[in-house]
């Protein structure tokens, strides 16, 4: 949880507005803040970080929850299949 300088929680509307402003400044599409959790989980998976570490970063109580946030993309899939082909040939 993020807080204001006085220690109060940042209002949800202000947090969302800041998130969308940051995306706009970066030239990125407007996506919900929760999307960053999926992106973080997927990037950490791609880096080979153990699921229990990713689980701790995301604050999940179970690895199964964390796995639901991880998504294999085409590059990851092709890399895995190429490694498999090298292994069996």
Mean predicted confidence (pLDDT) in 73-77 = 92
Alpha helices, H only, 26-68: 35-46, 51-58, 63-67
pTM: 0.71
The DSSP-derived string for 65-82 is HHHTT----HHHHHHHHH
Residue 31: predicted pLDDT: 94
pLDDT tens digit sequence for 2-39: 788 999 999 989 999 999 999 999 999 999 999 999 99
66 and 38 in contact (C-beta within 8 Å)?
Answer: no
pLDDT tens digit sequence for 40-73: 999 999 999 999 999 999 999 999 999 999 999 9
CA distances from 28 to 33, 50, 52 (A): 12, 29, 30
Cα–chain center distance at 26: 17
Residue (of 53, 49, 46) closest to 80 by Cα position: 46
Residue 1: predicted pLDDT: 63
């Amino acid at each position: 949880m993020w807080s204001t300088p006085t220690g109060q929680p940042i209002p949800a509307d202000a947090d969302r507005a800041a998130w969308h402003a940051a995306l706009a400044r970066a030239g990125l599409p407007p996506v919900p803040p929760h999307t960053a959790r999926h992106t973080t989980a997927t990037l950490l998976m791609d880096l080979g970080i153990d699921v229990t570490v990713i689980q701790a970063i995301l604050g999940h109580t179970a690895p199964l929850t964390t796995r639901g946030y991880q998504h294999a993309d085409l590059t990851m899939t092709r890399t895995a299949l190429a490694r498999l082909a090298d292994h069996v040939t």
